[in-house]
Structure 1
Amino acid sequence: MAAPSLTPSTADPARPVPPRTAGPPPPRGRFARSLRRNLTAHGFLIGAVICFAVFSWYPMIREFGLAFQKTGHGGTSWVGLDNLETVYHDPAFWQAWRNTLLFTALALLLGFAVPFVTAIVINEFRHGQGFLRLLVYLPVMLPPVASVLLFKYLYDPGYGLLNELLGFLHLPEQQWLQDPGLSMLSVVIASTWMNMGGATLIYLAALQGIPGELYEAAELDGAGLLGKIWHVTIPQTRLVLSLMLLMQVIATMQVFVEPFLLTGGAGPEGSTTTVVYLIYQYAFNFNNYGAAAALGLLLLVLLAGFSAAYVRLSRAGDE
């Protein structure tokens, strides 16, 4: 009779056998299942990527090449920096940059401050905020041509509402769009009214996210209205204000619609000629697409450099 073994048998029926677990599925199988589950989402994503590639990325890439080419007689030829030299020596080049910078400065004084103040006023109302938001955003929903026709009526030197109001106050009438000293300011006022709705709603949403306890604490410390705005409202909305400042500078540097429709683009003595309008002239009036692309490339580099510097300074300030 054999002696009992001290080592348990591997075939002992009393010992439970652990279940066999399947290994992870191969990567290709996981990707296929994920693709099937998210087929609709991937379809929308691919459509968006194609639209961006065709209508945004390709024109930008094409502009880089076109800026160093000359088009004519159905063909193109490389000309190096000749287009940049042509643009640089154009007498309207520096005037367009001065007008664009002037428009940006005036738009920041009005278009950056007015929506923020309007949002603060609307936020103080306890009732009717929905109606006020609609009223402020209504100009954004109007077609630009309709808004421009409205302001052309307001600015008309003969029967315009603004001159009628000045006459009622016994003040001298003004040539709003015909005077080189007033034309740019008139365009800025119209642009501010046409575009302030979106910024106002963004500021209003930021204001409504500020805790009321901060205002109560500031009031207990003796802060008045301006003190609460300076010590509570502005610090709490600093990130939104920074982002809107960057977006507004980029948008105003590319202004085209308002001066083009109000003053025909150039304005009296070229007072409303902007960089984008000069690009339009090169491309569609002079048929010089290379010079238009070169000027557009200069504007792109300037705005990209400003954005990079602004983001870097903002990060340094946060640290």
Structure 2
Amino acid sequence: MTAPGAAPGRAAPPRRPRPRETGAAPAGGRFSQSLRRNLTAHGFLVGAVLCFAVFSWYPMVREFFLAFQRTEGGEVTWVGLDNLTTVLDDPAFWQAWRNTLLFTVLALLLGFAVPFVVAVVINEFHHGQGYLRLLVYLPAMLPPVASVLLFKYLYDPGYGLLNELLGFLHLPGQQWLQDPDLSMLSVVIASTWMNMGGATLVYLAALQDIPGELYEAAELDGAGLFRKIWHVTIPQTRLILSLMLLMQVIATMQVFVEPFLLTGGAGPEGSTTTVVHLIYQYAFNFNDYGAAAALGLLLLVLLAGFSAAYVRLSRAGDE
């Protein structure tokens, strides 16, 4: 039996339920709902902010005030720029800056170029890249003390492997860490080996993002290996290279671990004394925390100025 007015043999269409009319939720309710949904994420965010505030931002602010203070017998007095004057009048100040700049230049020649070359070589292998990446990154996984002990053995003037190799080649042995002319270069070589793993992996990831069609077009134009690197590889990885250059300069200007563990910090005739090691001496050897903070603040201002100038020049070059 069909409903009146309906066509015979055809069922009546089902009625669609009316949508319920709901009013707009208040802004406070939406915020509380979002906060409850993301409570875990907000908790992790608060923890990260607290860690940065306690271990990064507070020491920076504290250092700024210490640079203009002097503590004697538990009493803190404001001395203005006296701490900075003390640092500038120290003969070791200029030697430390010369050594730091020398380390930075040598580290850029070795530590910046060698990882890129190694990444290019590994990228040419079609098989076994995973093992090669592990082999290159292995030094970065070793504790710095273990790596330094290894290089101390290599550099030993009596039974070191390097002098043994020189003797095998009928060449005179060298005082690698005891010679003022060789000590900084020896530290740079050790630092490059210890820290090149991470940079190599970054370069390798950038190289693998380069389209293969560019290399094929270069080969059709008759380009060899070096021309492909110069005209394809370097332009395609320019942003990564510029970023790694900035990070390399900042890291090398703050070098401390390698000279401190290999040569005791100062080295022969002060040849490996760096700015950060001088800060360490002011703070822990001389108990002059104000001078240490003033020198640290000076290094911070210098690196911040260099970073700002580098970013500005990079933007100007892109435009």
TM-score range, shorter chain: over 0.9
| Cα drift, residue 71 of structure 1 | 1.1
Q: In the alignment, does 2:194 pair up with 1:194?
A: yes
Q: Identify the residue that residue 82 of structure 2 maps to in structure 1.
A: 82
Q: Secondary structure at the match of 1:65?
A: helix
| Cα drift, residue 29 of structure 1 | 1.4
Q: Secondary structure at the match of 2:230?
A: helix
Deviations 1:37-86 (A, max 9, x none): 00000000000000000000000011110000001211211000000000
Q: Identify the residue that residue 149 of structure 1 maps to in structure 2.
A: 149
| Cα drift, residue 30 of structure 1 | 1.3
| Separation (CA, whole Å) in 1 of partners of 2:107 and 2:247 | 12
Gaps of 5+ in 2: 1-17
Aligned ranges for residues 20-39 of structure 1 at < 5 Å?
Answer: 21-39=21-39
Q: Residue type of the partner of 1:287?
A: N
Q: Residue type of the partner of 2:288?
A: N
Aligned ranges for residues 96-245 of structure 1 at < 5 Å?
Answer: 96-245=96-245
| Separation (CA, whole Å) in 1 of partners of 2:259 and 2:274 | 8
| Cα drift, residue 305 of structure 1 | 0.2
Q: Identify the residue that residue 62 of structure 2 maps to in structure 1.
A: 62
Q: Identify the residue that residue 303 of structure 1 maps to in structure 2.
A: 303
| Separation (CA, whole Å) in 1 of partners of 2:95 and 2:236 | 39
Deviations 1:213-266 (A, max 9, x none): 000000101110000000000000000000000000000000000000000000
| Separation (CA, whole Å) in 1 of partners of 2:20 and 2:44 | 41
Q: Residue type of the partner of 1:121?
A: V
| Separation (CA, whole Å) in 1 of partners of 2:220 and 2:33 | 61
Q: In the alignment, does 2:248 pair up with 1:248?
A: yes
Gaps of 5+ in 1: 1-17
| Separation (CA, whole Å) in 1 of partners of 2:51 and 2:263 | 34
Number of aligned residues: 302
Deviations 1:5-31 (A, max 9, x none): xxxxxxxxxxxxx98854432222111
1:96–1:19 CA distance, 2 compared to 1 (3 A): same
Q: Residue type of the partner of 2:38?
A: N
| Separation (CA, whole Å) in 2 of partners of 1:202 and 1:166 | 35
| Separation (CA, whole Å) in 2 of partners of 1:295 and 1:103 | 18
| Identity score, percent | 88
Q: Residue type of the partner of 2:182?
A: L
| Separation (CA, whole Å) in 2 of partners of 1:20 and 1:227 | 69
Q: Identify the residue that residue 265 of structure 1 maps to in structure 2.
A: 265
Q: In the alignment, does 2:312 pair up with 1:312?
A: yes
Q: Secondary structure at the match of 1:145?
A: helix
Q: RMSD of the alignment, in Å?
A: 1.1
Aligned ranges for residues 4-15 of structure 1 at < 5 Å?
Answer: none
Q: In the alignment, does 2:95 pair up with 1:91?
A: no
Deviations 1:257-291 (A, max 9, x none): 00000000000000000000000000000000000
Q: Secondary structure at the match of 1:308?
A: helix
